[in-house]
Structure 1
Amino acid sequence: MDNLLRSYLANHHGQMFALLKKMVLINSGSHNKSGVDAVGRVVAGALAGCDLAVEAIETDATGNQLVVRTPCRSSGAGGVMLVGHMDTVFPADTAFTGYREDDTRAYGPGVIDMKGGLVAGIYALKALGAVGRLSRIPLVFILNGDEEIGSGNSRALILREAGKSDCAFVLEAGGLNGEVVTSRKGNLSARLSITGRAGHAAFAGADKASAILELAHKTLAIEALNDPTRGISANVGTVTGGIGPNSVAERAEARLDFRFNRPEDGQALKTRLERIVADTRVAGTAAVLEIISGRPPMPAGDANRRLYTRVQKIAGRLGLALSPEHRPGVSDANTIAQAGIPVLDGMGPVGGGDHSADEYMLKASLSERTLLLACVLADFAD
């Protein structure tokens, strides 16, 4: 079976990179619904002819979601779940456009985060179909269009399908040294808005109700929540406010990010943050906290370790290096972990520079990770 799958992928090497280029050249920033939907149509077209049911779920605010099922998954639950996202962080007016390759790397917006992962998922299924194994695997493949902005519209679908599954694999980028992700931190993203009382700076007295001054006090208190020894990070990432140097700021705003390893640390962070917001240091000001998004931690439990061991044995059989990784960033794997099933992330090809104009994929890793994924999925055949 391994050699049959390897031979199929070798014979379709050029088609894999042609599909990658086609998707990368479509801007699919999270807020570019038409672009995300266009990527979805490309995915559906690439899977045409396979023994799969492909359903597009219409979504108004963000790109449509795709649900791909094998026949034996369509008739019931159980089996394996794949998850990938079609959106990128690059907006429609980004200056980072185009696709190019050199001897070892492919470059372009979303090439590794995560259109390379989508190609791996697509061609793993196509290879399994070509060798007559696909119809025997109870599998659902969810492709969402809003992961980079918190998966607000797709979270319920992901949780529902995870609840019907025995395990899951997420196609984010693998680590540069062959890592797959066995655990992730949780996160909380928030907006802090301060209102004060406007006035001319030249006439401001001791009772100056500056929104910026109040935000400065709160910034120091929020940054004091950092606790590296417990894996807790707190960051005031952006600050805006005021209308000019000679005016007392009536409004100020900050965007906040928090990371944590344990659910109880996340709850404690939220409680302490609410206390900071309620503690007014500058008379005449008021603060409002808005939670933008959040994901729970993905713990490295016994079930994840057993699933990793199963995948590692297959990788060893294929001559591929593999190692476990705890990753501080979040993904849809955090959501899947809520369903209580084992999940591995970072199953996609390898690269770096994601979320930047330096984004790249190591070309050799596309075939390697596609082969690994196909062999792993074949291991779940009835």
Structure 2
Amino acid sequence: MISDISTYIGTHKQDLYTLMETLVLIQSYSRNKAGVDRVGQYIAGIMERIGFSCEIVPQQDLGNHVIARSPAAAKDPKGQTLITGHMDTVFPEDSTFNWYKADDTKCYGPGVADMKGGLVVGIYALQALVDTGHLKDLPITFVFNSDEEIGSLSSRELIAKEAKHARLAYVLEAGGMRNDIVTGRKGNLSISLEITGKAGHAAFAGKDKASAILELAHKTLALEALNQPEKGISANVGTITGGIGPNTVPDRAEASVDFRFLSFEDAEGVQQRLDEIINTPTVPGTSTRVQPVSGRPPMPQTAGNMAVYSKIETLAHKLGTPVLSELRQGVSDANIIAKQGIPVIDGLGPVGAKDHSEDEFILKDSLWERTILFANILTEI
């Protein structure tokens, strides 16, 4: 634990809140390329001023990604520490949730928790290391991506590539309300199903009618039977549409389905059963087409993750901000990193909750507390 880091951050608390307010007030909905690019340009300017080299990875329709490298990482990324954080939020450009405010205990605004507060933690932890002389020869690469909230489809390959050079990684999503940090996450797969049958008048339909809705009903029961909560496996048929009226045999039906799983083995098992269900019609004359919508691999609580967590737990205890390990149900870019087989810890951003809603907040003091913790993590682990 390095005392001058705590002193430095303690004297720059207001700067952290100022930066967070600035970032929060830049509208950066995932589909708002201009807004996300403004966030990226602002961040790149800061990172360059503290001695990092920045690469802008241009995107045509979405915001550009920014890769910031310390001098040591720019020279040789092998064995680097990888940090990731996303610049986009879920709130559309016309959202009325376009303000920032703070009181004595909390800060509120779009992205304070998910995850502009986390970006501030990472940026100021690195600035503290630079200004106190502790960055030295640490090879650190910070990926600021633009599309996490819509599946990281344009950045996942970039993140995976950087992870292949890394010895370990940190993701700065918000910490849990018990001061949790994330040591594991479920993976997910979201799909859409389209059932095709044969239309006809209901008055003349026999037992052999090729009803798309009837086939979808059978498939819904089969998919829901995949739920195994004791193993952390969930399957949910979330929406269903089909048919044009009660007097017509429906020739089309559609459904959206979400799966969650804890391990790579369970992910493979879910995929195998899904293939069997899709390729086995119950109603003659019907067929099924499946379209993947999004997905991320699981982030298991590996021995490597838990070994890094143990070291963080010790540091946090010494700093007077003890942490807890969390297995989080949702997904993040940590899932993408986990697939590369390196230790990854998530939830290192400020403590917050109610993200993706207009009640989103962080605990005010956790912004600088987590910045101190993260700076020490980077130097000590």
Q: Does the 8 Å CA contact 2:53/2:68 hold for their aligned counterparts?
A: yes
Once the 2 structures are TM-superposed, how far is the Cα of residue 213 of structure 1 from its aligned partner? 2.7
What's 1:183 paired with? 184
What's 2:3 paired with? 3
| Gap runs ≥5 in structure 1 | none
Distance of 1:208 and 1:247 partners within structure 2: 11
What's 2:362 paired with? 361
Deviations 1:231-263 (A, max 9, x none): 110011222333455544332222211111121
What's 1:252 paired with? 253
Once the 2 structures are TM-superposed, how far is the Cα of residue 142 of structure 1 from its aligned partner? 0.7
| Gap runs ≥5 in structure 2 | none
What's 2:60 paired with? 60
After TM superposition, the structure 1 stretch with the greater mean CA deviation from structure 2, 170-179 or 18-27, is 18-27
Distance 1:255 1:51, change over 3 A: same
Q: Give the share of equivalent positions with the same residue, in percent.
A: 53
Q: Does the 8 Å CA contact 2:36/2:88 hold for their aligned counterparts?
A: yes
What's 1:322 paired with? 323
What's 2:211 paired with? 210
Q: Secondary structure at 1:346's aligned position in 2? A: coil
Q: Secondary structure at 2:194's aligned position in 1? A: strand
After TM superposition, the structure 1 stretch with the greater mean CA deviation from structure 2, 103-112 or 85-94, is 85-94
Distance 1:320 1:196, change over 3 A: same
Q: Does the 8 Å CA contact 2:83/2:142 hold for their aligned counterparts?
A: yes
- Provide TM-score, normalisation by structure 2: 0.94
Alignment of 1:52-131 (within 5 A): 52-76=52-76, 77-131=78-132
Q: Secondary structure at 1:97's aligned position in 2? A: coil
Alignment of 1:152-231 (within 5 A): 152-199=153-200, 201=202, 204-231=205-232
Distance of 1:158 and 1:203 partners within structure 2: 57
What's 2:42 paired with? 42
After TM superposition, the structure 1 stretch with the greater mean CA deviation from structure 2, 168-177 or 273-282, is 273-282
Distance of 2:104 and 2:122 partners within structure 1: 23
Once the 2 structures are TM-superposed, how far is the Cα of residue 191 of structure 1 from its aligned partner? 1.2
Q: Does the 8 Å CA contact 1:219/1:236 hold for their aligned counterparts?
A: yes
Distance of 1:214 and 1:27 partners within structure 2: 44
Once the 2 structures are TM-superposed, how far is the Cα of residue 29 of structure 1 from its aligned partner? 2.1
What's 1:33 paired with? 33
Q: Does the 8 Å CA contact 1:51/1:135 hold for their aligned counterparts?
A: no
Deviations 1:27-86 (A, max 9, x none): 222222222212111211332420110111012242211101000111112131111111
What's 1:304 paired with? 305
- Provide TM-score, normalisation by structure 1: 0.93
Distance 1:7 1:272, change over 3 A: same
Distance 1:171 1:209, change over 3 A: same
Distance of 2:99 and 2:249 partners within structure 1: 45
What's 1:137 paired with? 138
Amino acid aligned to 2:368:
S
Distance 1:233 1:67, change over 3 A: same
Q: Does the 8 Å CA contact 1:350/1:365 hold for their aligned counterparts?
A: yes
Distance 1:327 1:196, change over 3 A: same
Distance 1:201 1:23, change over 3 A: farther
Distance of 1:35 and 1:248 partners within structure 2: 48
Distance of 2:212 and 2:197 partners within structure 1: 5
- Number of aligned residue pairs: give it: 380
Q: Secondary structure at 2:72's aligned position in 1? A: helix
Q: Does the 8 Å CA contact 2:47/2:53 hold for their aligned counterparts?
A: no
Q: Does 1:239 align with 2:248?
A: no
Distance of 1:191 and 1:326 partners within structure 2: 27
Q: Secondary structure at 1:240's aligned position in 2? A: strand
Once the 2 structures are TM-superposed, how far is the Cα of residue 308 of structure 1 from its aligned partner? 1.1
Distance 1:10 1:200, change over 3 A: farther
Distance of 2:68 and 2:142 partners within structure 1: 5
Once the 2 structures are TM-superposed, how far is the Cα of residue 202 of structure 1 from its aligned partner? 5.7
